[in-house]
C-alpha cells in the first residue's frame, strides 16, 4: 500500500501533483480515510473546509468532501466511496457482506442524526438544549445497537467505518457538555472511564476501534481534535494544530 499525504490545502494552494494509480486518488475528508487506508493505494489531499482551493471547487462545485478521483471518474458521497472501495476487495472479502445492506443503511441514518447534533456542539459558539437532547438520545440508540465487539457482532464490517470517524470525537463533545476542561487537556478515555460512561457499550466500542492498526495510523489524538474544535468555535479554524 502506498499513501502520499499532503498538508491541509487553503484557497491559494495550487492543484497538487497527485500520482494516478489503478485504485484511485482521493481528495478526502475523515469518514472515508480508514476504509481507503485499509484497502487501496491512493494519494491523499486534505482540503481546508473553511477556505477551499478554487481548483477543488471546479472539481466539486458543491464543495462537498470527501471526493474520490478514479481514472477521471468522480465520487463524492462518503457511503458511495466506501462501497466502491470495499468492492475492490473482491466479492468474497467485502466488509459489506458482514453487516449487510440493511445494517449499513441503519448505521448511516443514525450516524447522520448523531453528527448533526455533534457538529453543532463541537464547532458552533452555542448549542441548544434540543441539540444536547438529540445527541444524547442518539447515543442511547447507538449504545443499544452494538451487540458484540463490533456493530455486526464479532467481525469488523463496513458499518463500523461509517460510525467510528464520527464517534471518535466523543470525549471532546462530552467535555463541551459536562466537564469543561481546557481544550488541550482533553484526552482519550481510559478503559475504566469508558466503563463508567453513560453509554459504556458505545465508549468501550470506541476504544476497541482505536486499537485497530489501520485506524491508529490515520486518526488524530483527541487533544488535537479538541484544540481544533476550539479554534472553529473562536472563528479562526487552524487545521495545522500540533
**pLDDT number for residue 41:** 64
**Tens of pLDDT, residues 22-74:** 333 333 334 445 445 455 566 777 777 777 888 888 888 888 888 888 877 88
Q: Indicate the residue among 87, 105, 130 that finishes a domain.
A: 87
Give CA separation, 51 vs 113, 133, 230, in Å: 26, 31, 17
Q: Which helix (H) or strand (E) element contains residue 55?
A: helix 54-59
Using the predicted structure, report yes or no on whether residue 17 has a pLDDT greater than 80: no
Task: Tell me, yes or no, whether 238 lies in a domain.
Answer: no
Do 19 and 102 lie in one domain? The reply is: no
**Domain containing residue 130:** 96-233
| pTM, rounded to two decimals | 0.80
Q: Indicate the residue among 87, 113, 131 that finishes a domain.
A: 87
**Tens of pLDDT, residues 77-127:** 888 888 988 888 888 889 999 999 999 999 999 999 999 999 999 999 999
**pLDDT number for residue 1:** 23
Amino acid at each position: 500500500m502506498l499513501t502520499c499525504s499532503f498538508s491541509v490545502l487553503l484557497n491559494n494552494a495550487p492543484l497538487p501533483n497527485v500520482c494516478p494509480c489503478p485504485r484511485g486518488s482521493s481528495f478526502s475528508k475523515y469518514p472515508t480515510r480508514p476504509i481507503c487506508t485499509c484497502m487501496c493505494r491512493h494519494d491523499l489531499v486534505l482540503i481546508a473546509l473553511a477556505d477551499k482551493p478554487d481548483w477543488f471547487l471546479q472539481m466539486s462545485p458543491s464543495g462537498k468532501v470527501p471526493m474520490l478521483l478514479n481514472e477521471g471518474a468522480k465520487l463524492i458521497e462518503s457511503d458511495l466511496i466506501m462501497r466502491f472501495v470495499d468492492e475492490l476487495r473482491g466479492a468474497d472479502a467485502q466488509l459489506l457482506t458482514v453487516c449487510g445492506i440493511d445494517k449499513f443503511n441503519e448505521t448511516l441514518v443514525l450516524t447522520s442524526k448523531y453528527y448533526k447534533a455533534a457538529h453543532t456542539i463541537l464547532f458552533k459558539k452555542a448549542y441548544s438544549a434540543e441539540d444536547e437532547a438529540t445527541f444524547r438520545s442518539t447515543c442511547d440508540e447507538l449504545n443499544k445497537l452494538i451487540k458484540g465487539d463490533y456493530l455486526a457482532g464479532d467481525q469488523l464490517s463496513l458499518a463500523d467505518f461509517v460510525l467510528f470517524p464520527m464517534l471518535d470525537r466523543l470525549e471532546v463533545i462530552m467535555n463541551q457538555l459536562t466537564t469543561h476542561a481546557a481544550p488541550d487537556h482533553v484526552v482519550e478515555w481510559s478503559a475504566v472511564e469508558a466503563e463508567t460512561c453513560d453509554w459504556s457499550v458505545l465508549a468501550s466500542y470506541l476504544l476497541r476501534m482505536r486499537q485497530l492498526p489501520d485506524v491508529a495510523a490515520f486518526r488524530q489524538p483527541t487533544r488535537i481534535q479538541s484544540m481544533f474544535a476550539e479554534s472553529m468555535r473562536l472563528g479562526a479554524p487552524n487545521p495545522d494544530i500540533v
